[in-house]
Structure 1
Amino acid sequence: MAAHNDSGKEAEELVKTWLVGRGYQFVEANFRYKHAEIDLIFTYKGLLVFVEVKFRSGTGFGFAEEFVDSTKRKLIVKAVDHFIHLKDWQKDIRFDIVTVYRDKNGNVNFKQFEDAFY
């Protein structure tokens, strides 16, 4: 597996642990539908929360959240539509982006964008 894939999986595990620590209940990871994937799915305060995780070691090429473009959002929405149909989810949903940055000292920082898109 390529190094960027390893970093992405590590970032997803870090975000999962971080959100569970903030009161989110983990539902599923890496739900796939056709060409789309939802990184993490949680419930939180009655919502079903779909989380796109982005990892960067710096901001030299832009902020991580900027890499969730319109094409990526459309794919995520299609996968979410499929997921909520499969689960017969009848309550509200939310799309979040959580970015993970590792500084030069190896410290990890998170930034959560709630209701990032629809």
Structure 2
Amino acid sequence: MAQHNDLGRLGEDLAKAHLEAAGYEILDVNWTHGKAEIDLIAYKDKVIIFAEVKTRTGNGFGEPEDFVDLRKQKLLANAADEYIYLMDHRGEVRFDIIAILFNDKINYKLNHIEDAFWPSADTL
């Protein structure tokens, strides 16, 4: 497996552990619909949370969360719509980003950004 895939998987594992420790119930991991993949789908306080995990080893090109562009937001929103439909969820939803920045092979900073974005009419 490519090194960036290993890093991504590690980031997703760290993000999942973070959410679980904070009392979230993990509903799905790497849920796909069409061309979109939602890294983590969680549930807490009657809200479904769609979390995009971005893991990087440096921020020379920007912070990890900067890489969730409008195209990615649109893909996530479309996949989330399908998930909500399939689960017949009638409550609130939220889109979070969990950004993980490693400063060496062991030490990292995790930034959980709640309500990181809300798909607007022009992204759907």
TM-score, with length taken from structure 1: 0.96
Whichever residue aligns with residue 34 of structure 2, its letter is: K
1:23 alignment partner in structure 2: 23
Report the Cα distance in structure 2 between the residues aligned to 1:24 and 1:10, rounded to whole angstroms.
Answer: 19
Number of the residue aligned with 1:88 = 88
Say what the alpha-carbon RMSD is for the aligned residues.
1.0
Q: Which residues of 2 match residues 1-118 of structure 1 at below 5 A? A: 1-104=1-104, 106-118=106-118
Which residue identity is paired with 1:115? D
Consecutive unaligned residues of structure 2, counting only runs of 5 or more, are 119-124
- Structure 1 residue 104: Cα displacement: 2.7
107-116 vs 63-72, which deviates more? Answer: 107-116
Q: Distance in 1 between matches of 2:88 and 2:26?
A: 18
Deviation sequence 1:73-110 (CA, Å, 0-9, x none): 00000000000101101100000000011113621221
Q: Name stretches of at least 5 consecutive residues in structure 1 with no aligned partner.
A: none
Tell me the percent identity: 42
How many pairs are equivalent?
Answer: 118
